[in-house]
Amino acid sequence: MTCELCGKPGDTKRALVEGVEMLLCSNCAGYGKAIKVPPAALMKVRKPVQRVEPELSVVSNYSVLIRQARESKGMTQKEFAQQMAEKESVIQHLENGKLEPPLKLARKLEQRLSISLIEEVKAGTVPEATKSEGFTFGDLIKVRKR
């Protein structure tokens, strides 16, 4: 093991340094108060397996899917907003593509409309960028270079 204070490899002992439990080498042990470890605690503790959660994103054509599903159920935006416990303006912005739903809202929409809005982002791929409206700072830089 390595000393958590100086980084020196070798034998370490548990010590309390300013309220923080650390593994210290014999040289650094004087900076803390030694902690006696009961024999049962000396057993190796199995580290939990880290699961890699897939990265999720909302599909690029979410606005069309939401509008079509709502209309097929014969609901107005106002009725649907009330059913979803959301503001009507949120539904309008979703259907116009001005607001990409957060994953929590996308899941709620999927359940209410029986559609699929969330997809897994594959490693090495970049989600499709949304087209920005108007003039951006990057556009300004390009103009000045010309």
Among 8-17, 40-49, 52-61, which stretch is predicted with the lowest mean pLDDT?
40-49
- The C-alpha torsion from 108 through 83 and 64 to 87, rounded to 10°, is -90
pLDDT digits (tens, 9 = 90+) for 99-136: 999 999 999 999 999 999 999 887 655 555 555 556 66
Q: Where are the domains of the chain?
A: 1-37, 56-120
Q: For domain 56-120, give its CATH number from 3.90.1710.10, 1.10.1040.50, 3.40.50.1000, 1.10.260.40.
A: 1.10.260.40
Q: Could you give the CA distance from residue 105 to residue 82 in angstroms, rounded to a whole number?
A: 14
Name the amino acid, one letter, at 103. Answer: L
Assessment of whether the complete model's pTM goes beyond 0.85: no
Q: Can you read off the two tokens belonging to residue 93?
A: 């912005």
In contact, 5 and 28? CB cutoff 8 Å: yes
